[in-house]
Amino acid sequence: MSRYLSEKLDGAGRITLSEEQLGRMGLGPGDEILLRETANGLVLLPLDPPLRKVYVEPTTRCNLQCPMCMRQSWDEPLADLSWEAYERLIAGLQEMGTCRRMSF
């Protein structure tokens, strides 16, 4: 363990990070992280990362046939996300309160 980190440990083996440091890792106060030693050094990983980003696929319809696409290996019928399901998703994300980004 690096000297910097060992100096930051409290008696219970916890490290307190500034809000700026937490923000850079997408974490907030009270979030726990896992410290893993790798061949390239120490890596900090969120222990139970809050949901920060959601990818929504509003439809599986596509007029292309990319060879690497997962659509090449599935037999599911093409479908669209219903408006009701979308509204439930939005309501659930609002209730969770952690999601910062949604990509379509």
Among 56, 62, 79, 85, binds ligand SF4 (CB under 6 A): 62
Three-state DSSP at 38 gives strand
Cβ atoms < 10 Å from Cβ of 90: 14
Q: Residue 99 corresponds to which tokens in the numbers above?
A: 């999601």
Choice between 5 and 69, CB closer to ligand SF4: 69
Task: Give dist(CA 35, CA 47) in Å, integer.
Answer: 9
Number of chain residues interacting with ligand SF4 (CB under 6 A) = 6
Q: How far is the CB of 63 from ligand SF4 (least distance, A)?
A: 8
Q: Is 73 in the site for ligand SF4 (CB under 6 A)?
A: no
